[in-house]
Structure 1
Amino acid sequence: MELKNFFPGEEIELEDLGNGMKRKVTAFHDNLMCVEVHFEKGAIGALHSHPHEQITYILSGEFEFNIGGTKKVLKAGDSTFKQPHIEHGALCLKEGVLLDIFTPCRKDFLN
C-alpha cells in the first residue's frame, strides 16, 4: 500500500452506504485506519463482526450500541472498544457522526 501522510478532508467524498448512513475513509495505511460514519436518526449499523480491533468515538449524536449482546446508549464524547470477532452494531437515536479507528486497515473499505 502506498504511504500517504496527508488526507485533506475536502478531497475525500462521503460514500453513501444507503439506509441513512454515509462513510468517509479519512486516513489509512496497512496497520491503521480512521473512518467517519454519518448516521441519520433511525439508521441502523447492522450487527456484524470482523477480525479487526475497533475503537469508536462519538463525535456527535446519540447511539444505542450493542456489543457482544450488551446494549448501552452513548453520546458525543463517549467511546467504545470492539475486540476482534465480537458481534456489534448500533442504532442512531439522534443524528450524528462516529469516528471509527481500525487495526489493521479495513482493506474492504478501500475502492
Structure 2
Amino acid sequence: MDVTNFCFSKDNELEDLGGGVSRRMAVYADNAMVVEVHFEEGAVGAVHSHPHEQISYVVSGAFEFQIGDETKIVRAGDTTYKQPNIPHGAKCLEKGMLLDFFTPHREDFVK
C-alpha cells in the first residue's frame, strides 16, 4: 500500500450507503484508518461487531449509541470507544457527521 502524508477530501468521493448514511475515506495505512460518516436525521447504523478497535468522534449532530449493554446519547465534541468484537450501533437524532478511527484499517472499506 502506498502511504501518503496528505489526503484531500476532493480526492475521495462520498459513498452513499443507503438509508441516509454515506461515508468518505479520509486516510488509511496498514495500522490505522479514518473515515467520515454522514447521517441524515433518523438514519440508523445497524448493530454489528468487527475485530477492529474503533473510536468515533462526533463532529456534528446527536446520536443514540448502543455499545454492548449500554445506550447513551452523544453530541458534537463527544467520543465513543468500541473494543474489538463488541456489538454496537447508532441512531442519528440530529443530522450529523462522525469521524471513525479504526485500528487496524478495515479491508472491507478499501476498494
**Bin for the TM-score computed over the shorter chain:** over 0.9
Bigger drift between 82-91 and 5-14 goes to 5-14
Q: Is the counterpart of residue 42 in structure 1 residue 39 in structure 2?
A: no
Q: Which residue of 2 aligns with 1:73?
A: 73
Query: 3-state DSSP class of the match of 1:108?
Result: helix
Residues of 2 paired with 1:100 and 1:46: CA distance? Answer: 15
Residues of 2 paired with 1:4 and 1:110: CA distance? Answer: 15
Residues of 1 paired with 2:6 and 2:110: CA distance? Answer: 16
What's the TM-score, normalizing by structure 2? 0.98
Query: 3-state DSSP class of the match of 1:10?
Result: helix
Identity fraction in percent: 58
Give RMSD over aligned pairs: 0.6
**How many equivalent pairs are there?**
111
Q: Which residue of 2 aligns with 1:98?
A: 98
Bigger drift between 4-13 and 87-96 goes to 4-13
Runs of 4+ more than 2 Å apart = none
> Unmatched 5+ residue regions in structure 1?
none
> Unmatched 5+ residue regions in structure 2?
none
Residues of 2 paired with 1:55 and 1:98: CA distance? Answer: 10
Query: 3-state DSSP class of the match of 2:13?
Result: coil
Q: Is the counterpart of residue 25 in structure 1 residue 17 in structure 2?
A: no
User: Structure 1 counterpart of 2:40, which letter?
Assistant: E
Task: Compute the displacement of 1:58 (Å).
Answer: 0.1
1:56-90 deviation digits (Å, cap 9, x = unpaired): 00000000000002100010000000000000000
What's the TM-score, normalizing by structure 1? 0.98
Q: Which residue of 2 aligns with 1:10?
A: 10
1:27-66 deviation digits (Å, cap 9, x = unpaired): 0000000000000000000000000000000000000000
